[in-house]
Amino acid sequence: MTNKIWGGRFKSQTDPRAAEFNSSLPFDHVLYRYDIMGSKVHAAMLAKQGLLEKDEADAIVVALAEIEDEIDRGLHEFKDEYEDIHMLIEQILVKKIGNPGKKLHTGRSRNDQVALDLRLYARDMSVKILELLGELCDTFATLSKKHQNDIMPGYTHLQQAQPITLGEYFGAYLCMIQRDMSRMEDWRKRMNFSPLGAGALAGSSLPLDRKFTAQELGFSDVIKNTVDAVSDRDYLMELCGVISIIMVHLSRLSEDLIIWATQEVSFITLDDAFATGSSLMPNKKNPDVLELIRGKSGRVFGHLMSSLTIMKALPLAYNKDMQEGSECLFGVVNTVLSCLTVMIPFVNSIVFNTERMKTIASSGYLNATRILEELVLKGVPFRDAHHRVGSYIAEAMEKGCTLEDIVRLHEYTQSQ
Ligand code: ARG
Whole-angstrom distance, CA of residue 118 vs CA of residue 310: 16
- 118 vs 194: CA distance, rounded Å: 11
Average pLDDT over residues 393-397: 96
Examine the residue annotation and report whether 157 is marked as an active-site residue of this protein: yes
pLDDT band at residue 81 using 50, 70 and 90 as cut-offs? confident
Whether 147 is a known active-site residue: answer no
Give the 3-state secondary structure of residue 91.
Answer: helix
In order of 97, 235, 355, the CA distances from 158 in angstroms are: 67, 37, 20
227 and 317 Cβ atoms separated by less than 8 Å: yes
- Is the CB of 24 within 6 Å of ligand 1? yes
Assess whether pLDDT exceeds 90 at residue 7: no
Nearest to 121 by CA among 345, 352, 370, 331: 331
Is the CB–ligand 1 distance for residue 354 below 6 Å?
no
CATH superfamily of the domain spanning 364-415: Fumarase/aspartase (C-terminal domain) (1.10.40.30)
Distance 229 CA to ligand 1 centre (A): 14
Span 219-246, average pLDDT: 98
Q: Is 23 in the pocket of ligand 1 (CB under 6 A)?
A: no
- Active-site choice (12, 157, 205, 415): 157
Report the separation in Å between the CA atom of 316 and the middle of ligand 1, taken as the mean of its atom positions.
14
Instruction: Kindly give the number of the ligand 1 atom that is closest to the alpha carbon of 320.
Output: 12
Residue whose CA lies nearest to ligand 1 atom number 12: 323
Secondary structure class of 62 (helix, strand, coil): helix
283 phi and psi angles, rounded to 5 deg: -80, -10
Q: Is it true that the peptide bond before 317 is cis, omega within 30 degrees of 0?
A: yes
Q: Which helix (H) or strand (E) holds 275?
A: none
Percent of the chain scoring above 70 in pLDDT: 100
- 207, pLDDT greater than 80: yes
If you measure from the C-alpha of residue 111 to the centroid of ligand 1, how many angstroms do you get, rounded to a whole number? 6
Q: Considering only CA atoms, which of 180, 150, 178 is closest in space to residue 164?
A: 150
DSSP 262: S
pLDDT of residue 90: 97
pLDDT per residue as tens digits for the range 321-358 = 999 999 999 999 999 999 999 999 999 999 999 999 99
d(CA 271, CA 350): 6
For the domain made up of 110-359, give the CATH fold. Answer: Fumarase C; Chain A, domain 2 (1.20.200)
Given a contact cutoff of 8 angstroms between Cβ atoms, the answer to whether 12 and 102 are in contact is: no
d(CA 290, CA 292): 5
**Residues 280, 281, 285, CA angle at the centre, nearest 5°?**
120
Share the mean pLDDT of the chain.
96
- Residue 416 scores a pLDDT above 80: no
The pLDDT score that the predictor gives to residue 414 is 80
Query: For the residues of 276-336, what is the DSSP string, one character each?
Result: B--SS-TT--B-HHHHHHHHHHHHHHHHHHHHHHHHTTPPSS--THHHHHHHHHHHHHHHH
Cα→Cα distances 140→91, 174, 175, Å: 49, 6, 9
Over residues 315-325, mean pLDDT: 98
Is the predicted pLDDT of residue 1 greater than 70, yes or no? no
pLDDT higher than threshold 70 for residue 69: yes
Domain with CATH 1.10.275.10 in the chain: 14-102
Neighbours of 50 (CB within 10 A): 10
Distance 11 CA to ligand 1 centre (A): 22
pLDDT tens-place string over residues 265-303: 999 999 999 999 999 999 999 999 999 999 999 999 999
Which CATH number among 1.10.540.10, 1.10.275.10, 3.60.40.10, 1.10.3210.10 corresponds to the domain 14-102? 1.10.275.10
- Residue among 190, 188, 202, 189 nearest 231 (CA): 202
User: What whole-number distance in Å separates Cα of residue 321 and Cα of residue 407?
Assistant: 69
pLDDT at 74 over 90: yes
How remote is the CA of residue 70 from the centroid of ligand 1, in Å?
24
Mutate to test the pocket of ligand 1, among 323, 324, 329, 330 (most ligand atoms within 8 A of CB): 323
| Beta strand pairing call for 193-194 and 221-222 | parallel
pLDDT average, residue stretch 48-54 = 98
pLDDT tens, position by position, 105-152: 999 999 999 999 999 999 999 999 999 999 999 999 999 999 999 999
Judged against a pLDDT cut of 90, whether residue 3 lies above it is answered with: no
**pLDDT band (50, 70, 90) for residue 235:** very high
Name residue 286's beta-bridge partners: 276
For ligand 1, say whether the CB of 231 is within 6 Å of any of its atoms.
no
323 lines ligand 1 (CB under 6 A): yes
Q: What is the pLDDT of residues 367-387, one digit of tens each?
A: 999 999 999 999 999 999 999
Q: Residue 164 forms beta bridges with which residues? A: 152
Instruction: Give the per-residue pLDDT at 247.
Output: 98
Q: Is 111 in the pocket of ligand 1 (CB under 6 A)?
A: yes
Task: For residue 24, give the ligand 1 atom closest to its CA.
Answer: 1
Distance 196 CA to ligand 1 centre (A): 14
Assess whether the C-beta atom of 118 lies below 6 angstroms from ligand 1. no
* pLDDT at residue 154 tops 90: yes
CATH 1.20.200.10 region(s) of the chain?
Answer: 110-359
Q: How many angstroms separate the alpha carbon of residue 110 from the centre of ligand 1?
A: 6
- State which ligand 1 atom lies nearest to the alpha carbon of 118: 4
- Annotated catalytic residue within 278, 338, 363, 391: 278
Please list the residue range(s) of the chain that carry CATH number 1.10.40.30: 364-415
The continuous run of DSSP H or E covering 159 comes out as strand 159-165
Check pocket membership of 326 for ligand 1, CB cut-off 6 A. Answer: yes
